[in-house]
Structure formats: structure tokens, C-alpha cells
Amino acid sequence: MQDTLRMVPPDPGAGRRAADRATSPGTRRLTAMIVMLALATLATPAVAAPAERFDSIESQLYADWENGFVVFVNYTREAFCAWEASGYEGDAPVTRLVPLLVVETGKGAIVGTWGGAVELELWRFDDELTDQETACTATDEQTEPWAVGSGRFRGNDNDWDISGTRINSFGGRLQATVVDVDGQRWHYSSMDRLQIDRDGTWSLRALKLHLVRKGGGG
């Protein structure tokens, strides 16, 4: 299996963020993360104190090498791949919106917190992967998701617009229940924390991915 699966669409418009969170080739399997689409708002919030609330798009798309999945959070594979085929025209085809709270600090940085119910699909990788696969081509031999389910996601970002006035720390937690093709229920969880230094350097500070069978068994 190649270590170069990449899933980043171009920036689809103002106020949207697509975070390339690739680690070095030697550590990609260890960290299990290749890329995740970070929170994307419907429009860049014009924020001043006090805090403001918005409906927002929380979407994640990443490779879970440890468990062998491409994970679509708040997307169906069908909808995302149609969006990809269109050149990412229009809004991201998420299954639901989540609340976003933003507040401006005294130094001009915008702090964002968001969370709510999300749906997800876990798709197995195809047997053969080639360099520079996308989420869609890496799963196009699969006829259905390995499991589908729902859960809750919560995230935060201490410098939403990357103002450069502070080290930018952001990430989130997902807790979900999914049901596989045989009807078995599983608990799936993820946690990540990333950082952008003032010089623009990205780093992965923490990453945990877990898949546990519910009701006993291995």
C-alpha cells in the first residue's frame, strides 16, 4: 500500500479552509493520518466582540491506515466524489450543518469552537493503490461502505483566520457508533491536534484513532 494518498481539494471559496495535514512519508503509517478537511464555514464571519454564532460545515476526510479505511465524516462517498468530479463547484455536499461560535480576542485573533451531530462512512481501501490516489479512486473498486453510522464531533481553533499573532492550535474529537455490513456495531473515535507556528510551519501534535467492537468479541 502506498503512503501518498492525498485528499485535498482546491480551496472552494472565501471562508473555507482545506488543511493539508500530510506527515513525512516515513511516519504516515505510524500516525495513520494523511489528510483531513478542517472546518469550513459558509462565509468568513465578520466578527467583533461579543461572540457570534453561525451555521457551519464540519467535514473531515482522512485515511485511517491503522484500521484500513478512508473515513468520510459528514459526507457520503457518493456526494463527495460527485463534487470532486465537478471540480469542487458549489458548496461542500455535507449531510448536515453544525453550530459554530466565534469570538475576537483583544489582539485580533478569532477563536472558534464548533460541534454537533455528524454522519460518517468507513470505506475499505482497494487492494491496489497507486501514487497520488484520491479518496475516490482509492475506493472505487468497493461496492459499498464497510460501515456507516453517526456520532458527535467537537472542535476548536484558537486562531481561526491564522492572524499570525499567536501559534495556531486546532483540532477536534469524534465519537461515533457505526454498523458494518454484517450488522455488527462498532465504536469509532478520533482525536487530532495540529499546530501552525508563526513562521507557517505545520505540525501534528496528537492523533488517536480507535475502532472497538461493541457487545464483546475481538
pTM: 0.73
pLDDT in tens, 106-161: 777 888 888 889 999 999 988 766 655 688 888 999 999 999 999 999 988 998 88
Q: Is the pLDDT of residue 217 over 60?
A: no
Q: Write out the chain in H/E/C secondary structure.
A: CCCCCCCCCCCCCCCCCCCCCCCCHHHHHHHCCCCCCCCEECCCCCCCCCCEEEEEECCEEEEECCCCEEEEECCCHHHHHHHHHCCCCCCCCCCCCEEEEEEECCCCCEEEEEEEEEEEEEEECCCCCCCCCCCCHHHCCCCCCCEEEEEEEEEEECCCCCCCCCCEEEEEEEEEEEEECCCCEEEEEEEEEEEECCCCCEEEEEEEEEEEECCCCC
